[in-house]
Structure 1
Amino acid sequence: MIELISTTKCVNCNLCVKVCPTNVFDNADGGIPVIARQQDCQTCFMCEVYCPADALYVAPEAEESVFIVEKEVEEAGLLGNYRKAVGWGKGRKPAAVTDTTYFMLKALRG
């Protein structure tokens, strides 16, 4: 479930608003988007993966909202964590390239 939009990292691009399939976010005039319908979040990670600033945190196993402290989430390296794992963003590689199955399939394909 979406838990956090970082007030310090968000660049107001509103991509999270545009890509969310369940309309969880609202635009805020002159400010960062607002998590308006958190209970509608399906934990699909679309918002997090499209965020160019790694300003979002989606709790992967939360079915109900959990208490989040932005500073702690940032210090733990969890902001944009899913985006990092899939390799989106400049200079990143998908975690799959470190998986032995990836190398096995690559070798089989020649």
Structure 2
Amino acid sequence: MARLKLKEHLINREWCKGCGICVHFCPKQVLELDAMEKVVVARPEDCICCKLCELRCPDLAIEVLTDQDEKNE
């Protein structure tokens, strides 16, 4: 299976409550909480598109878009 390639992270900052679950589950430390305690993508180049942040976010505030998503539309 081909490795997924990141297009972008979509973060709904209004929905994010700053719980840090996504930050904790990210295996490559791509995400961080900013000064407002909201998630930000600090190192997108390190993202392996595992989508653990998207799957674990209790507020559905993160979506990881990949090149594969484009083909499925």
The TM tier, using the shorter chain, reads 0.7 to 0.9
* 1:15 equivalent in structure 2: 21
Tell me if 1:39 matches 2:42.
Answer: no
Q: What 5-or-longer segments of structure 1 have no aligned partner?
A: 63-110
Supply the distance in 2 between the matched residues of 1:59 and 1:37 (Cα, whole angstroms). Answer: 15
Supply the distance in 2 between the matched residues of 1:45 and 1:10 (Cα, whole angstroms). Answer: 16
Corresponding residue to 1:59 among 45, 61, 65? 65
RMSD: 1.5
1:63-83 Cα deviation digits (max 9, x unpaired):
xxxxxxxxxxxxxxxxxxxxx
Higher CA-based Rg:
1
Q: Percent identity?
A: 34
* Cα contact 2:16–2:38 (8 A) shared by 1: yes
1:13-68 Cα deviation digits (max 9, x unpaired):
11111000011012223330210001111100000000000000101327xxxxxx
Supply the distance in 2 between the matched residues of 1:49 and 1:16 (Cα, whole angstroms). Answer: 9
Letter in structure 2 aligned against 1:37: R
Supply the distance in 1 between the matched residues of 2:9 and 2:58 (Cα, whole angstroms). Answer: 17
TM-score of the superposition, structure 1-length normalised? Answer: 0.51
Q: What 5-or-longer segments of structure 2 have no aligned partner?
A: 1-5, 69-73
